[in-house]
Amino acid sequence: MNFNCSLIFMRALSACAVFSLLSVSGLASGDTENSGRQSWRTLDQLTPWERERIDLRPNTPRDKKVPYLPAEPYPFTAPYTAEEMGFRAMNFTHAARWSHVMADAFGTITKEGYLTQGVTVAMVDEMDAPNAASQIAKKPGEAYSRHMYYYTYPPKDDGVQEMWVLRRTGLESPAKLDYFAYTPSLRRVRRQPPPRRETPFPGVAQSFDDILGLEAWEFDWRLMGADTLHETVRFPTNRKTITLAEPNGRFYDVATDSIKLMRERYPFYTKDGGVNCFVVVGTPKQDWLPDFKVSKVIYWLDQYYFYPLRIERFDEEGKLKMIEVRIAQQENKALPNGEGFASNLVVYYDAELDLMSYSLHDAHLMQEWTEEDLAAFTPDFMRRRWLKYPQQSQSMVNSPEEYYLRPALLAERFPSERSMTVSPTIAARIAAQNKAGHLVFGTVEK
């Protein structure tokens, strides 16, 4: 009885909190959009509510034992520093940070339209508590998550498996993961060298760091301002529906123009369906990442959960290298403060190569692994060639013309901070795609 009362009280409190946040956000969005001003806001243009939510102090108290961590305990409370936002964003890596199984449909398309696609079934064991808190609390070098990947498509990759053991980094422990691979043609489980973090996987646009996420303590953080995003991943006009899968394997169709940035359960959309974001920039710390081939990373983080909806990576010369855009979905309702949101669809765009990859997480099945199940999370398990959870996806693209559009450059936003120039040829292809509503291949007039 007492428990029920407490629950009702907590729900009421949450409802009040959500209502007040909604009210404030509505005002905030109204301030920016109804006035007809630009969607992006520099620090001096922030709304009062946004100013209350941020902490612009350059130096904040440090943790006594681990000086590269903030003194305030994670997950922090408002107002938030840019650094704290960077730490909060660690919750939202490519794969959800709780134990689960899913089918990951992925693909890459070149500027000529050469399309490759595949499906891998992922089993994730988040070894302690869900999300980033346990990773932050670990000692450098300790493992915090284990991933098993079983490739089922295309046929040449059927049975290829990988195991990743994710480790917390430290100044003296730069290895981010142990990496094992099983190749059916060799029938061998082999430990692979830990991948170079910013180097893309073979043949695709995204790197291991794009998948594993950045560790906030390796970067210096600064707030650039705020912005309202109305689109991230863009479907072509010739792809009206997409087939998705429920955890139990049931397939269902969704109209592509109905898919919102953070799907239906996100409560803080602006009146016109946008998502208000803080825009922060992370620059690599030289002592942590001395030869990192990235000069800065810019995040668009939703202002409530700090979910990164758009990420830009710039090369050593400050030129745009990569745009990552996401559609998220609340997959884990048990977690508070929006921590249950996870990537549903991600598009990675290499602006230098004009190469575009996607990854769609389908049939997401939450798991609480039993002791017996955990035997599956060892390198030797891969020798068994046992696909324990045959999750499937029918979300792959049918033809190159129906592939996702290149993400918008948003070149007019924060122009002093972002060098968004692309080659004239790529600019022409972007213009052609925007005009046609789908990717255009072949010669395009500049």
Partner 1 sequence: MNQMRVVCQNWLDVVVEPASRVVSSVIIKVFQHPVNMVGALVVCCILPAAVLAKDDFAAFDRSMATFDPGGKYLTKPVERTVPGLSLNGTITHWSDYLVHDDEDIGFRDRDYRGLQMQTLVEVAASYRFSPNLELTSINHFMYDSVYDVDGGDGLYAKRVDDSYYKYNTFDRIARELYVSYRTSKLDVVLGKQQIAWGKMDGQFIDIINSMDFRESVQLEAADYEVRRLPMWMANLTYYFDDVSVNVLWIPDFEANVNPAYGSPWQSPLLPPGDESARNSNALLNNRSDAAGDRVLQTKRPDWTHLSDHQIAARLDIASGALTWGLVYYYAWERDASPFVTGRFTDGSGDHLIITPEHERLHHFGVTSDYAWVAKGVPLIGTLPVVLRAEALYTKDANFIDYRNLAAVRAGGSGNGISEHDTLRAALAFEFAFPSKVSVIFQPSFYYTFDWHEGLGVGYGGAIGDEWNFAPVFFISRPVQRTRDRLMLSATITPYMSGSNRDYQGTKTKLMASYEISPFVNGSLIYTDYHGGNDDDLYGQFHQYDNIGVELQYEF
Point out which residues bind partner 1 (CB under 8 A): 108, 110, 112-118, 143, 154-156, 158, 174-175, 178-179, 184-196, 199, 202-203, 290-291, 293, 353, 355, 370, 372-376, 378-381, 383-384, 386, 388, 399-400, 441-443
By beta-carbon proximity to partner 1, the closer residue of 271 and 388 is 388
By beta-carbon proximity to partner 1, the closer residue of 180 and 300 is 180
Of 306, 12, 272, the C-alpha closest to 20 is: 12
Q: Output the smallest distance, CB 395 to partner 1, in A.
A: 16
By beta-carbon proximity to partner 1, the closer residue of 26 and 247 is 247
By beta-carbon proximity to partner 1, the closer residue of 309 and 347 is 347
Instruction: Give kind and range of the element (H or E) at residue 9.
Output: helix 2-29
DSSP character at residue 112: T
Of 405, 400, 355, 404, the C-alpha closest to 204 is: 355
Q: Which residues contact 311 (CB under 8 A, 6 or more apart)?
A: 210, 297, 298, 299, 300, 322, 323, 324, 325
Q: Output the smallest distance, CB 417 to partner 1, in A.
A: 27
Of 164, 20, 98, 90, the C-alpha closest to 330 is: 98
Q: Output the smallest distance, CB 376 to partner 1, in A.
A: 7
Q: Which residues contact 21 (CB under 8 A, 6 or more apart)?
A: 267, 268, 304
Q: How far is CA 166 from CA 55, 145, 280, in A?
A: 31, 5, 25
By beta-carbon proximity to partner 1, the closer residue of 26 and 400 is 400
Q: Output the smallest distance, CB 66 to partner 1, in A.
A: 20
Q: Output the smallest distance, CB 374 to partner 1, in A.
A: 7
Q: How far is CA 198 from CA 93, 169, 209, 285, in A?
A: 15, 15, 6, 15
Instruction: List, as one string, the DSSP characters of 122-140.
Output: EEEEE-SSSSHHHHHHSPT
Q: CA angle 83-84-89, nearest 5°?
A: 100
By beta-carbon proximity to partner 1, the closer residue of 291 and 317 is 291
Task: State the Cα–Cα distance between residues 296 and 321, nearest whole angstrom.
Answer: 10
Instruction: Give kind and range of the element (H or E) at residue 356.
Output: strand 355-366
Q: Output the smallest distance, CB 321 to partner 1, in A.
A: 13
Q: Output the smallest distance, CB 390 to partner 1, in A.
A: 9
Q: Which residues contact 339 (CB under 8 A, 6 or more apart)?
A: 91, 130, 131, 305, 332
By beta-carbon proximity to partner 1, the closer residue of 268 and 349 is 349
By beta-carbon proximity to partner 1, the closer residue of 328 and 355 is 355
Q: Output the smallest distance, CB 344 to partner 1, in A.
A: 24
By beta-carbon proximity to partner 1, the closer residue of 75 and 195 is 195
By beta-carbon proximity to partner 1, the closer residue of 261 and 289 is 289
Q: Output the smallest distance, CB 433 to partner 1, in A.
A: 16
Q: What is the dihedral of CA 62, 220, 178, 367, to 10 degrees?
A: 70
Q: Output the smallest distance, CB 311 to partner 1, in A.
A: 22
Q: Centre a 10 Å sphere on the Cβ of residue 182 and count the other Cβ atoms it contains.
A: 24
DSSP character at residue 170: B
Residues 48, 27 contacting (CB under 8 angstroms): no
Instruction: Give kind and range of the element (H or E) at residue 312.
Output: strand 308-315
